[in-house]
Amino acid sequence: MDLLVFLARRPGEVLSKDEILSAVWPQRFVAESVLSRSVADLRRLLDDDAARPRVIETIPKRGYRLIAAVMPLAQTTVGVRPALAVAVLPFVDMAAGRDQGYFCEGLAEELTNSLAHVPGLRVVARTSAFAFKDRAVDVREIGRMLGVGFIVEGGVQRAGDRLRVTVQLIDTADGCHVWSERFGGAAGDIFLIQDEITSAVVSALPATLPVLNALRFRRGATGNPAAHDLYLRGRHLSAQRSPAALAEALACYERSLAADPDYAAALAAVAECHCVSGFTGFARPSEVFPLGRAAAERALAIDPELADAHAALGHECGMYEWQWAGAERHFRRALDLNPGHALARVWYSHLLAASGRFAEAIEVTERACEVDPLSPTVETTLGLALYHAGEYERAAACYRRVLEAAPHFALARLHLGRVLILEGRLREAADQLTQAAHALPLALGFLAGVWRRIGNANRVAALMADLDRLSRSGYVSPLTWYCAWYGEREQQHRWLVRAFDERVGIVPLLNTDPSMDEWRRDAGFQALLDRLGLPRVPERPAAAGRHVKEINTP
C-alpha cells in the first residue's frame, strides 16, 4: 500500500496528516477519515494495537509516525490488498437515444443499497461512486481513491418493452475482469432482473457472503414498473439538491405514488426532499417539514424497517420539532438498519453538534466519510462539526479540500467564509461569500454583514436590495436577515425571534455556533435557547480577530 511505503521511507519522523494526504493521494480530494481508515487497515494487517503500538504510532493532533524498524531489501514489492469493499459505478446508457441516464443511475443506486445490507461487505455510497461518471479513470486508480478492492460497472439497453443489462465485476488490484454476465427480459420484469444481478454480484465476490440478506433488504419496494420508473427519475433529480430540481423530483414521486400509493421508498424520498428544502432554507419550514413528517410516518407504517424513512423522521423530529430523544432514536434505528447510510450520519451529526457532543459529531461524520469519501456534502459536514467544536483550522482545511475538488460547491464556500469572519479576515470572507451567494441566500446575508463590518455602505445597500427582491418572489429565512443586519442589535434580535418562532431548520445549531458567542450573555438570546431544550455550552476563548473591524474603503 502506498501509505505504508510512504511511512517506511521516513521511519521515526512525525508526519502530519496533510503531508501524508498530499503524498499518498496527490491532487485528489480525500477526507481525513480515509487516512484514519487506511491506518486502521494497516494495523489490522500487521497485528498492531493503537493503544500499544509496535508499528504505527498516532501523534495526537499532529499525525503519525512509523516506529517499527525498517530494513531495505532488494527487489521487494510492497502491496496490501484492500479489504472486501466494493463500489458500484453508474451504469452506462446504451439506448439508441441516450435518454435513459436516470434509469441507469437508478439501477446502480439500488444495487448499491442492496449490497450495503450484506454483512462483511463495505459498499461505497452513491455520491462518491458516481463522481466517476463520464470520466476516463483507470479502475486501479478508482480503487485506490475509494479504498475498494472491486468495482461493479455495467451498461443498460432499453428498447420498447425489452431490457438488457450487462454487469461486470473488476478487481482493482490489476484491472482484470473477475466476472461478467448479461441479464435480460421484459421491462416489466425489472424487479426479478435486479434480484438476479444482486445475487450474481455477491456470489462472484471472493468470499462467502449471505446473498439472501441482500435480497431481503431491498426495502420499500413496489411491484409496479411505472411507479418504479418515476421513482428513479425523482432520485436522479433530487440528487442535484437545487430548489428547482427538488420541486421536479417531488412531482415525479407524487406521480409514482399515484401509481402505487403504498410505495414506501417513494414516500421516504418525499420526506427527504421536504427535509432538505426546510433545512437549507429553500422553503418556509412550516410548509415543508410537517409534510416530510407525514410522508415518513406513512412510509414506516408500510415498512417499519425502512432506513431512509427513519433518517428523514429523525431529521424532522430534531431540527423542526426539537424532540431530541425521538430524533436520536430514529437516527440510531436508521444506522442499525443501514450502517452505510451517509445522509443519516450527516443529519445525526447536526443533532450532536447542536447538543454540544462535538466528539461524537466528528466521529459520526468521519464514519460517513468512510462510506462516501468523495462527497462534498459529507466532508463539508465534517468541517461544520469541527467548526462547532472550535477547531477552526481543521474546519477550514476540510472546506478547502472540498473546493479543490468541487470549486462550485457553494456550501463549502459559505462555511469557509464564516471561519474567515471569525478570524477577522473580512475581505477574504467577502470573496468566498460572493462566490456562494448565487446559490444560497444565507450567503447574501453573511456578505451584507461583512460589508457592514468593513463599513462600505454602498455595497450593503445593494445587497439589502437584492434580499428584498428575493423575499418578494420566494422565501428568505429570518436568519439571513439577522446576518445582514450585523451590528444593529435591535434589528438582529427581532429577526432572531422570528427565526425561533418559524423554527428555521438551522436554528438548533445556534446553540453551539461560535459566531453566536457574543450573544451568550444576552438574556433575550438565552431565553430563546431555552426553548430548544438543549444543554448549554461553556464559553469559548474568542478566535483571533473575532471583533476586528476593517477601515472603510470603496
**pLDDT for the residue numbered 15:** 85
Residue 392 is assigned to a structural domain of this protein: no
Q: What's the mean per-residue pLDDT of the chain?
A: 87
CATH number at residue 52: 1.10.10.10
User: Are 416 and 542 found together in one domain?
Assistant: yes
Same domain, 523 and 416: yes
153-203 pLDDT, tens digit each? 999 998 778 899 999 999 998 899 999 999 988 888 888 888 889 888 888
pLDDT surpassing 70 at residue 260: yes
100 and 152 together in one domain: yes
Domain membership flag for residue 211: yes
Q: Of the candidates 218, 252, 268, which is a domain's last residue?
A: 218
Q: How far apart are CA 181 and CA 167, in angstroms?
A: 6
Q: Which of 222, 172, 159 lies closest to 194 in space, CA to CA?
A: 222
In a domain, 434, yes or no: yes
Under a CB-based contact definition with an 8 Å cutoff, are residues 299 and 267 in contact?
yes
Do residues 50 and 102 share a domain? no
Is the confidence at residue 256, as pLDDT, over 90? Answer: yes
378, 369 Cβ separation under 8 angstroms:
yes
* pLDDT class of 64 with cuts at 50, 70, 90: confident
Give the residue, 99 or 231, on which the prediction is more confident: 231
Averaged pLDDT, 14-41: 74
The half-sphere exposure of 216 on its side-chain side, counting CA atoms within 13 A, is 9
Question: Which of 191, 218, 245 is a domain's end point?
Answer: 218
Q: Do 544 and 415 belong together in one domain?
A: yes
553 belongs to a structural domain: yes
Contact criterion met (CB below 8 Å) for 172 and 151: yes
Q: Is residue 25 part of a domain?
A: yes
Please name which of 291, 369, 386, 328 lies closest in space to residue 21, comparing C-alpha atoms. 369
β-bridge pairing 150-159 and 63-66: unpaired
Residue 140 lies inside a defined structural domain of this protein: yes
Residue 280 belongs to some domain of the structure: no
**How far is residue 440's CA from residue 454's CA, in Å, rounded to a whole number?**
22
- Shared-domain flag, residues 492 and 542: yes
Instruction: Note whether 101 and 56 are same-domain residues.
Output: no
Q: How many CA atoms lie within 13 A of 150 on its CB side?
A: 24
- The amino acid that residue 205 corresponds to is L
Determine the pLDDT at residue 277: 95
pLDDT tens per residue, range 104-156: 999 999 999 888 877 778 899 988 999 888 888 899 999 988 889 999 999 99
pTM: 0.80
Rounded Cα distance, 169 and 209, in Å: 16
Instruction: Say if residue 470 is in the same domain as residue 550.
Output: yes
CATH code (residue 184): 3.40.50.10610
Task: Name the residue range of residue 62's domain.
Answer: 2-66
**In this predicted structure, which of 28-32, 140-144, 545-549 has the lowest mean pLDDT?**
545-549
Predicted pLDDT of residue 77? 33
Question: How many structural domains comprise the chain?
Answer: 3
pLDDT higher than threshold 90 for residue 83: no
Q: How far apart are CA 338 and CA 306, in angstroms?
A: 9
Cβ burial of 94 (10 Å; 0-12, 13-18, 19+) is middle
Residues 89 and 167 in one domain: yes
pLDDT at 79 over 70: no
Orientation angle between helical segments 342-354 and 358-371, nearest 10 degrees: 170
Please report whether residue 292 resides in a domain: no
For residues 419 and 553, state if they share a domain. Answer: yes
Query: At which of 197, 218, 239 does a domain end?
Result: 218
| Co-location of 163 and 42 in the same domain | no
Regarding whether 104 and 24 lie in a shared domain, the answer is: no
